[in-house]
């Protein structure tokens, strides 16, 4: 069997720990269970990548603002933040495992996630 490797699939997940990464792609969507808008940022370096979802709810604003601040973009009241501003930006992130209960099945799932955003 031959398995085709598309562009961007040649890297594995980043290992746990702190990494400096570049945001190389942004995809927008809505959560499967509560229809909350989000954007998924692909963050990568030569060692690998992680794709992190950022929900755009009021509860998630502190997380969003910490990401933007870490890349040098500061929020201003009355002005929108554009996810396209993040493309090509470098940021320091902490990579680790996060476990949660899948709302559809009740099964525990684990994913890689990026947290602890700092200026690169």
What are the structural domain ranges in the chain?
17-119
- Place 21 in a pLDDT band, splitting at 50, 70 and 90: very high
Residue range 50-96, pLDDT digits in tens: 999 999 989 999 999 999 999 999 999 999 999 999 999 999 999 99
Residue range 88-97, pLDDT digits in tens: 999 999 999 9
DSSP assignment of 41-92: EEEEETTEEEEEEEE-SGGGHHHHHHHHHHTT----TT----GGGGTT-EEE
The yes or no reply on domain 17-119 and CATH 2.40.50 is yes
Which is it for the CA torsion 114, 39, 41, 20, positive or negative? negative
Residue range 94-108, pLDDT digits in tens: 999 988 887 778 888
- DSSP classification of residue 16: S
């Amino acid at each position: 069997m031959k398995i085709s490797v598309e562009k961007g699939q040649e890297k594995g997940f980043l290992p746990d720990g702190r990494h400096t990464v570049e945001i190389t792609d942004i995809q927008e969507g809505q959560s499967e269970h509560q229809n909350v808008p989000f954007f998924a940022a692909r963050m990568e370096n030569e060692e690998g990548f992680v794709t992190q979802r950022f929900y755009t709810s009021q509860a998630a604003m502190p997380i969003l603002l910490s990401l933007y601040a870490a890349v040098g973009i500061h929020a201003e009241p009355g002005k929108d933040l554009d996810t396209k501003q993040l493309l090509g930006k470098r940021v320091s992130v902490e990579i680790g495992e996060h476990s949660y209960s899948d709302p559809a099945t009740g099964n525990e799932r684990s994913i890689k996630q990026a947290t602890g955003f700092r200026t690169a």
